[in-house]
Amino acid sequence: MVTNIDSVFAGLADPTRRRIVERLARRPLTIGEIASEFPISQPAISKHVRVLEKAGLLQRTVEGRVHYCTISPQAMQQVSAWIDRQRRYWNGALDRLERLLAKPSDEKRKS
């Protein structure tokens, strides 16, 4: 599955959706179980779940009238890989800047 990391970040931008993801990381839950922990309506929770599902952060299976949600770690892994690349780039850039600033003044003028 290829996930658009923009949609993953958009999905995680809302604190309610982040809490849903945190809860699903512990165990699969039904929509009703998810909704029971929030002071908002079940239809509002369903909308949040649809956003997370579209972003690839969770998978939903339906058995009769019960909707079960499970975390989908692939989307988070792709975002984590992107963050790791950014961290390596910026750490390298800041290390180079630190070395440049640490050079004596007359050495800097020769460069």
Q: Look at residue 110 in the predicted model and tell me its pLDDT.
A: 63
Domain positions in the chain are 1-111
pLDDT tens string 17-39: 999 999 999 999 999 999 999 99
pTM score of the predicted model: 0.74
Does the structure show a pLDDT above 50 at 72? yes
Q: Look at residue 107 in the predicted model and tell me its pLDDT.
A: 62
Residue among 82, 74, 68 at smallest CA distance from 31: 68
Which of the four CATH numbers 1.20.1250.20, 3.40.50.12140, 3.30.420.40, 1.10.10.10 does domain 1-111 have? Answer: 1.10.10.10
A 10 A CB-CB count for 11 gives: 23
